[in-house]
Amino acid sequence: MATHKLLLLPGDGIGPEVMAEVRRLVGWLEQRGVADFALEEGLVGGSAYDAHGAAISDADMDRAQAADAVIFGAVGGPKWDPVPYDVRPEAGLLRLRKDLGLFANLRPAICYPALADASALKRELVDGLDILIVRELTGGVYFGEPKEIVTLEDGTKRAVDTQVYSEGEIERIARVAFDLAKVRGNKLASAEKRNVMKTGVLWHQVVSRVHKESYPEVALEHILADNCAMQLVRRPKQFDVLVTDNLFGDILSDIAAMLTGSLGMLPSASLGDVDPATGKRKAMYEPVHGSAPDIAGKGVANPIAMLASFGMAMKYSLGLGELADALDQAIAQVLTEGLRTADIAAPGTNSVSTGEMGGAVIKALEQQLAR
Ligand code: IPM
Ligand code: MG
């Protein structure tokens, strides 16, 4: 049996609590003889800053490069608000994305019927929602240079961020999105601001060319990013796969998250190119929710996004796709059975702890597999 090398980076806030449920799931998989794992654990974010004065150490970066998959919890918290910009907790996450070349960020937003009432939108708008946001993750305004604050001659300051995209960067993310559209609903929406931004003009041109050249059978729609935000709350089920740049993807995926009832439900996968020599790709899996410092350490965080992120690792990195599907079924099952952590519980109803939810998902997974 192949041994899967995983690097766990729990991070800050609720990160360690939800990561504990991944450890449990991994232990259960080993016990069942499904797979063997070699687990390593490292520090990222504020916890890494406290230990080494950097948001991630070079040694942990090397371990991330060597892993089959990096499993990431969350970073940040008010404790580190005063630390210098270059070593702020988020810098660790951004370095992992950039140095591992994880340009394709997949953020599925699924509204489980059992949770439709937890959404801020009316049930009929979100019940059964299943969209996939494909966010470009290593380019755009997040990384473009210059990126600086300069002092002008008159003593006032000026800040610059640079939005930059090359044709190659747009083409490779477009291909990932078209390929995913083909195995889903065969339709793709591409969001940019070509009415204002040159990067939007090029984005539109490149996506159109790739469509014409390689994916004419996929129904492609171009949509302005602001209109896309509006359509996501007006009639979200019109979308299936949505491809967009780094910054728009950040914003649109938070909107999509709330459609599903809670940020605590959204997993993500960040993938690099397939290495032709090994057939493998670098990958990192992380919940979309943050470190939630307000509830950290209380044992009440929702572990579903973290567990579902591990499910995406099983699917995209570990060759355990069927098991990943069973895990999704198990999550749907516990929700149907009425189990709720505080973030998705109706006001005035009981909620379970992080550990109880994690345990219930594993139990449901056992039942799913016995079917
Ligand atoms: C996300 C987060 C990050 C981002 C932050 C923590 C740097 O909001 O993954 O969506 O902006 O990409
Ligand atoms: Mg975000």
Neighbour count for residue 292 (Cβ, 10 Å)? 23
- Which residues have CB under 8 Å from 183's CB, separation 6+? none
Give the global pTM: 0.96
Annotation marks residue 50 as catalytic = no
**If you measure from the C-alpha of residue 107 to the centroid of ligand 1, how many angstroms do you get, rounded to a whole number?**
12
Ligand 1 within 6 A of CB of 304: no
Nearest Cα residue to atom 9 of ligand 1: 288
pLDDT string in tens for the chain (371-residue length): 789 999 999 999 999 999 999 999 999 999 999 899 999 999 999 999 999 999 999 999 999 999 999 999 999 999 999 999 999 999 999 999 999 999 999 999 999 888 888 888 999 999 999 999 999 999 999 999 999 999 999 999 999 999 999 999 999 999 999 999 999 999 999 999 999 999 999 999 999 999 999 999 999 999 999 999 999 999 999 999 999 999 999 999 999 988 998 888 999 999 999 989 988 999 999 999 999 999 999 999 999 999 999 999 999 999 999 999 999 999 999 999 999 999 999 888 899 999 999 999 999 999 999 98
Annotation marks residue 127 as catalytic = no
- Which residues have CB under 8 Å from 361's CB, separation 6+? 21, 25, 303, 304, 307, 327, 330, 331, 334
Annotation marks residue 215 as catalytic = no
Ligand 1 within 6 A of CB of 250: yes
Read off the DSSP letter of residue 11.
Answer: E
Strand 219-224 and strand 157-162: the pairing is unpaired
Is the Cβ–Cβ distance between 194 and 203 less than 8 Å?
yes
Annotation marks residue 240 as catalytic = no
Is the Cβ–Cβ distance between 93 and 29 less than 8 Å?
no
- The residue from 60, 68, 165, 193 that is catalytic is 193
Neighbour count for residue 85 (Cβ, 10 Å)? 8
**Residue 270 β-bridge partners:** 105, 284
Of ligand 1's atoms, which has the minimum distance to the CA of residue 268?
Answer: 9
Of ligand 1's atoms, which has the minimum distance to the CA of residue 250?
Answer: 10
